[in-house]
Amino acid sequence: MLKRLDQRVALVTGAGRGIGAAIARRLATEGAALVLVDRDADALAALAQAMRADGQQALPVVADVTDRAQVEALMAQVNDACGGLDILVNNAGIIRDGLLAKLSDADWDQVLAVNLKGPFLCCQAALPLLRQRERSRIVNIASRAWLGNIGQANYAASKGGVVSLTRTLALELARYRINVNAVAPGLIDTPMTRAMPAAARERLLRMQPTGEMGTAEDIAAAVAFLAGPDARFITGQVLHVDGGKSCGLLAL
Ligand code: NDP
């Protein structure tokens, strides 16, 4: 039976674990051939092996998305191996939380480099490959925090930048029929949030309208929709997948 993403090549950054790994798995389940990108070679190799064992196509490539030379080499490798790219998912991201008075230059620069410059570099380097295919897609992983979050000035600013990048590229790339959308996750159970101090996690959980965390698979499902044929006429949008948290404050 034909699957929704058969014949499509998809690249996911930060695919070594968490949301990125779930997105890679989901897109592969829908029929896409996957390029898995991360800094963590061991995590990539393990995921690629598991996917191949399940009959899925997976090409692991170690690259740091903040490094132009590495990103350009990555896209050249994808071009040689796959002859183009249909779906680019900019997922790699980091947090370095702190209140304004305590944020260091390094905290600011690292978060902006990975979360915002990374998607810029990947979109730019992938553009010639995306243009080789029909109706390609870019899906950027933002965050509900782009609306504002105490202790995350750097992170929120980076994700607000991702939203603006998404909307602008949607306009610029519409002429090539490349749709550009963002998914803004709320609190999701991944290694990133498991590494937070327990008190911070509890506070965030109390602010969840649904009272629960989301799963990486919840985000992967939204990405699969935006990457698939049903989203043909959707571009420049931000899909919040956050259990309702972006709707406003809860009366506690
Ligand atoms: P994780 O920290 O669990 O995974 C992120 C992955 O990205 C890691 O494998 C990490 O590798 C990789 N990575 C980090 N920096 C780079 C880089 N420069 N180049 C290549 N790979 C890199 O994060 P999540 O899965 O939780 O988050 C995924 C995305 O979802 C991020 O953009 C995050 O901001 C966003 N998000 C997550 C939420 C959550 O609640 N979890 C909520 C809202 C948004 P390494 O081990 O080397 O760092």
Looking at residue 138, what DSSP letter applies? E
Whether residue 251 is predicted with pLDDT greater than 70 in this model: the reply is: no
Ligand 1 atom 28: residue of nearest CA:
19
Is residue 196 classed exposed, middle or buried when 0-12, 13-18 and 19+ CB atoms within 10 A define those classes?
middle
Q: 70 CB under 6 A from ligand 1?
A: no
Ligand 1 atom 31: residue of nearest CA:
93
Phi-psi group of 15: left, alpha or beta (phi > 0 → left; psi -120 to 50 → alpha; rest → beta): alpha
Q: 39 CB under 6 A from ligand 1?
A: yes
Burial 34-56 (b: 16+ CB within 10 A, else e): bbbbbbeeebbeebbeebeeeeb
**For 187-202, what is the mean pLDDT?**
92
Q: What is the pLDDT of residues 25-65, one digit of tens each?
A: 999 999 999 999 999 999 999 999 999 999 999 999 999 99
Q: How are beta strands 58-62 and 9-13 bridged, if at all?
A: unpaired
Per-residue confidence (pLDDT) for residue 200, from 0 to 100 = 87
HSE of 97, CA atoms in CB hemisphere, 13 A: 13
- Binned at pLDDT 50, 70 and 90, residue 233 comes out as very high
Q: 169 CB under 6 A from ligand 1?
A: no
* Atom of ligand 1 at shortest range from CA of 115: 32
Ligand 1 atom 38: residue of nearest CA:
188
Give, in degrees to the nearest 5, the angle at Cα 68 between 225 and 70.
Answer: 80
Sheet harboring 238-241: ordered strands across?
58-62, 33-38, 9-13, 87-90, 137-141, 179-185, 238-241
Ligand 1 atom 1: residue of nearest CA:
192
* Atom of ligand 1 at shortest range from CA of 191: 3
- Binned at pLDDT 50, 70 and 90, residue 1 comes out as confident
Residues 138, 143, 146, 151, CA torsion sign: negative
HSE of 211, CA atoms in CB hemisphere, 13 A: 1
Which residue type is seen at 108? W
> What residues are annotated to the active site?
155
The residues spanned by each domain of the chain are: 9-238
Contacts of 16 (CB under 8 A, 6+ apart): 36, 38, 39, 40, 43, 44, 47
Q: How far apart are CA 158 and CA 155, in angstroms?
A: 5
**What does the CA dihedral 185, 190, 192, 197 come to, rounded to 10 degrees?**
110
Beta carbons within 10 angstroms of residue 69's beta carbon: 10
> Over the chain, what is the mean pLDDT?
97
Cα 156 to the center of its chain, rounded Å: 15
Q: Which CATH architecture has domain 9-238?
A: 3-Layer(aba) Sandwich (3.40)
